[in-house]
Amino acid sequence: MSTKSAAKPRSPASARSKSAKPAADDDVLPDADMERRICEAVYESVMSQRLTPGTKLPEAAICELFGVSRSVARKALQRLAHEHVVDLHHNRGAVVAEPTPEDTRQIFQARRALEAALLPLAAARATRADYASLRRQLRDEHALLHRAGQPAWARQASAFHVRLGELSGNTILHGYLAELVSRCSLIVALYEPPGNAACEHGEHVLIVDMLERGDVAEAVRINDNHLADLERRISLERPQPAQTLAQMLGLA
């Protein structure tokens, strides 16, 4: 597991284009930009539940859809595999990740234990300014809940937990948490029934209330139940949609 510190759950890239056609010669994007574009398209499609677990992502199809060489497509798929968004198989190529029930159990178990250790550290260091910042973040989260799509809301909800980890002051544990939160977010996006929130906003508010009040044990209890409820809502069986890869990637 990586120990990199991150301010929020990572997405493979930061921009996405809707066009599947290559640009004109004078506007051709560098390979690195096309690699990011492919990663972002796949990531957003997973988070939006258009790409389902086990969906094949053939290199040839990626090349055709994005107008790139095989080397660019291969690098993008390798990057997505590093982020646990896709799995690479010797005889099947790239497929959207299919976390098993045991994977899911272990990832959530590790996250619950880690957050239980980080919250007391955060409470011991948090200042009035930190709590004010958390409440601004919660207001933004509430606004996105009512006006944004699932990917934006899920990122904001996950960022709340990562921010609490950051307040602990332990960069090693914070880095572990960032990776676990990212993996949990992908599992939720892949398997949670449509219409459910990735996290309950009201519980986030209660966690901050308890921390600021000094009732750390209650904050830990609420957070643990919060994550357990999230895990229970996951359904590891979903029907495969009758769509083309271009449609699932939002390119058609």
The reported pLDDT for the residue numbered 195 is 55
Sign of CA dihedral 217, 173, 77, 251: positive
Longest CA span, the chain: 61
**What is the reported pTM?**
0.74
The reported pLDDT for the residue numbered 11 is 52
Q: Where are the alpha helices (DSSP H) in 83-215?
A: 101-125, 128-147, 150-167, 171-191, 201-213
The reported pLDDT for the residue numbered 120 is 98
The reported pLDDT for the residue numbered 15 is 37
3-state class of 86 per DSSP?
strand
For residue 96, list its beta bridge partners: 86
The reported pLDDT for the residue numbered 123 is 98
First to last CA, the chain: 36
Mean pLDDT by 10 residues, the chain (252 residues): 44 42 50 92 87 92 95 95 92 89 94 98 98 95 73 82 97 96 88 66 95 98 95 72 66 66
The reported pLDDT for the residue numbered 32 is 86
Q: In this structure, what token pair is assigned to residue 62?
A: 């990626």
Contacts of 175 (CB under 8 A, 6+ apart): 2, 3, 4, 5, 6
Of residues 36, 35, 38, the one with CA closest to residue 20: 38
Crossing angle of the two packed helices 31-47 and 171-191, in degrees rounded to 10: 60
Sign of CA dihedral 228, 229, 230, 232: positive
Of residues 179, 159, 6, 184, the one with CA closest to residue 107: 184
